[in-house]
Amino acid sequence: MKPEAIKDYYVINGQINTTENAEIFEKIERPPIYEVIRVIDGVPLFLEDHLNRMFDSANIIGYNIDRDEQEIRKDIKSLILKNNIDKLNIKLLSTEIEGKAKVFLVYNIDSFYPPEEYYKNGIHTILFHYERNNPNAKVLFTSFKEEVSKALKEKNAFEALLVNKLGYIPEGSRSNMFFVKGDKVYTAKASEVLIGITRKHIFDVCNKLNIRIVEESIHIEDLKKLDGGFMSGTSVNVLPISRIDDISLNSINNEIIKEINNGYIREVENYILKHRNEWV
């Protein structure tokens, strides 16, 4: 695995190390369990949800993470303070490496947050035929990531919608997908996807706004019948889709998508306000 820690420091098994000494990454061969957490105003957003999902992923594949929640929280706080982080993503990574047994890494990574124009104009997406073996476990497979990245670059797209062998779209390559038809929002069943943290909070927002969510994947033959769509994820929040291959969607003007986006932003703001004092 290529070294991906940025800034001056990272944490390994509770110990602070400089990123100049990052040979440990090159020793990682087994696909690791990982989480990416967004830091806003020095606060790791929805941290409890991310940690729960990471331990769930480990349980699904029969892997035991040696560090407990309090130790991981301490690692994250040390990194935020040491690297003086206000707004940047943090990656948690747990795996085994030869000669070191289990390692738990906490480090900052390059983070891309879509500019305002992406939210105003929507994004271009593509269809990508691929089916995850175990969608509920967040495990990093480098070859899949590279294949998707190549396809996105070739077609100048922002995200790939994964199409399974039956022609349904359960999720994106790095996001959850939501589609609007009439007054309903459609998204795949929890059993078919990696349950995104942003997805969970979008469900909460829709419940508060009395917007009905139907847990049902959309078939590629039905894309032209949609009134809109959006992707959700740690770094993108609620991001409207303007195009899927050559199919145009008027997502940026869809009132339901606007309501969900505004409601989600309120959830984020409230969380940061509630937890800010824990991270100073």
Look at the alpha carbons of 219, 224, 228, 234 in this order and tell me if their dihedral is positive or negative: positive
Q: Please check the confidence at residue 100 and state whether its pLDDT lies above 70.
A: no
pLDDT score at 85:
96
Do residues 203 and 213 make contact, with C-beta atoms less than 8 angstroms apart? yes
Q: Could you tell me the pTM of the whole model? A: 0.90
Tokens of 89: 């993503």
Residue 222: the pLDDT is: 97
CB proximity list for 200: less than 8 A, separation 6 or greater = 49
Question: What is the pLDDT confidence band of residue 136, given thresholds at 50, 70 and 90?
Answer: low
Please measure the distance between the N-terminal and C-terminal CA atoms of the chain and give it in whole angstroms.
Answer: 33
Residue 280: pLDDT above 90? no
What span, in angstroms and rounded, lies between the C-alpha atoms of 20 and 195? 35
Alpha-carbon gap, residue 77 to 54, rounded angstroms: 18
| C-beta of residue 178 within 8 angstroms of C-beta of residue 230 | yes
CA–CA separation, 179 vs 264, rounded Å? 16
| % of the chain beyond a pLDDT of 70 | 96
State residue 31's pLDDT score.
75
pLDDT in tens, 197-217: 999 999 999 999 999 999 999
Task: Give the number of other Cβ atoms within 10 Å of residue 135's Cβ.
Answer: 18
Distance of alpha carbon 240 from alpha carbon 251, whole angstroms? 6
Would you state the structure tokens that stand for residue 240, as one six-digit string?
Answer: 């409207």
pLDDT digits (tens, 9 = 90+) for 224-268: 999 999 999 999 999 999 999 999 999 999 999 999 999 999 999
123 phi/psi in degrees, rounded to 5 = -115, 155
Q: Would the pLDDT of 185 be above 80?
A: yes
Q: Is the pLDDT of residue 142 over 70?
A: no
